Amino acid sequence: MLVQEEDYLFDTEFTIATKTIHKTCDQAHGAINPPIYMSSTFELKDVDSFGKGYFYTRCGNPTRTVVEEIVAEIEQNNYAIAFSSGMAAIQCVINLLKEGDEMLAMDDLYGGTIGYLKAIAMEKHGIKVKFIDMTNLDEVRKQMNENVKLVYLETPTNPTMKLTDIKELCQIVRQIKNNVVVAVDNTFATPYLQTPSILGADITLNSGTKYLGGHSDILFGTLSCRNKELYDNLFKISYLTGGCPSPFDCYLVTRSLKTLEVRMKQQIKNAYILAKYLEGHPKVEKVLYPGLESHPQYELARKQMRAGGAMISFYIKGGAAEVERLMKGLELFTMAVSLGGVESLIQIPAKMTHSGLTEDKRQELGITQNLIRLSAGLEHVTDLIKDLEHAFKNI
């Protein structure tokens, strides 16, 4: 299938490549790549220097600072914090709340986020969480009240690819209560495709394990924000709870960010071609991909994203048995959770990432036994289509 950039990119001019490549030079010695400071502690120059600059790696490290500065810049924020995983970053955001506070959460979220909110935030910390469909902004208006301190969402969502109008949501929330924190998990979109901060979000979150790392070899997370007081609160939580990344992982993400744009462009192109292929396949019931005109929020995707992304979910005709046969027929697609790496991955949300939800909740969200989620990698797309075509013959 011959496609042009205009077919799969809504914005062909936007770029972050120069920022990610040219912010890593070691100023002290001119090394093209920043050094890895493998030190847990740092010499104090005098008795009054504790707590100033670098003194203990849980509280800051020069290698970590490099990646944080890059993330802050490409997300158009003033500050960023790196974490040892996406879940550590999520926990930091939720820890802004105290017992009795309320938050609104998107009903369709990563299974680990839902699990944390229910088992830890709600059951152990006494935080009141309302899960609502934020594609319906009237529902946001209805549920907002004086006790709500945080609004938390993903867009696109995992795994049903629902979108929330970030700008409109932020305006609605602030009309009702000005000091509510709006946090957007931007993992599926990445800083290349979506910039929540310019749409009004206070916090942008990424599971850096995915596209920022891009090679399925690290666990990583990031938060970024513009407000200094909010940053100070988040940073204090981060070093007191201890979810900091190793200097080596920070180096790996800094390295990977240099190729984020070029990787994303090819992965988006592959995803678009795969989505078009799946949409026309007789054994596919429905394709969920924001870059297709058939997506119910296609116009919103064009408004706040720069492309449809590299994640696709689709329903096949049949049930669990047909899905299992399809999976067994694949050779190039690797059946594994996670996403965003150079290799194409495929998984069954109902049995894997969202298996912790009740059957009723999965049905309500559309996470049925015949839903499949795939992450388009960098393989030649013709080979990926041949792999799917071979597997479809099993059903």
Residue 174 falls in the annotated catalytic set:
no
Those residues with Cβ within 8 angstroms of residue 110's Cβ, 6 or more apart along the chain or in another chain: 154, 158, 185, 187, 207, 353
DSSP H helical ranges for 134-285: 137-143, 166-176, 190-193, 228-241, 247-257, 260-279
Catalytic residue among 107, 185, 249, 387: 185
- 281, amino acid identity: H
- Catalytic, 192? Answer no
Report the 10 Å Cβ neighbour count for 128.
16
Largest alpha-carbon pair distance within the chain? 73
Question: Has 185 been annotated as catalytic?
Answer: yes
**Which among 8, 79, 110, 289 is annotated as catalytic?**
110
What is the chain's Cα-based Rg?
Answer: 21
| Catalytic choice (7, 19, 54, 58) | 58
The answer to whether 307 and 263 are in contact (CB under 8 A) is no
What is the Cα 12 distance to its own chain's centre?
22
Residue 110 annotated among the catalytic residues of the structure: yes
Helices (H) and strands (E) in the chain, counts: 15, 12
- 332 forms bridges with which residues in the sheet? none
Which helix H or strand E contains 226, and what residues bound it? Answer: none
**The pair of three-digit structure tokens given for residue 182, joined into one six-digit string:** 């709006």
Q: What's phi and psi for 359, nearest 5 deg?
A: -60, -40
Dihedral, CA of residue 83, residue 85, residue 88 and residue 93, to nearest 10: 70
Contact present, 301 and 268 (Cβ < 8 Å): no
Contact 76, 198 (CB under 8 A): yes
Please give the Cα distance from 367 to 364 (Å, whole number).
Answer: 8
For residue 307, give the DSSP letter: B
Which one of 64, 149, 162, 210 is the catalytic residue?
210
Rounded to an integer, what distance in angstroms lies between the CA atom of residue 236 and that of residue 228?
A: 12
Q: How many CA atoms lie within 13 A of 215 on its CB side?
A: 13
Q: Which residues are catalytic?
A: 58, 110, 185, 210
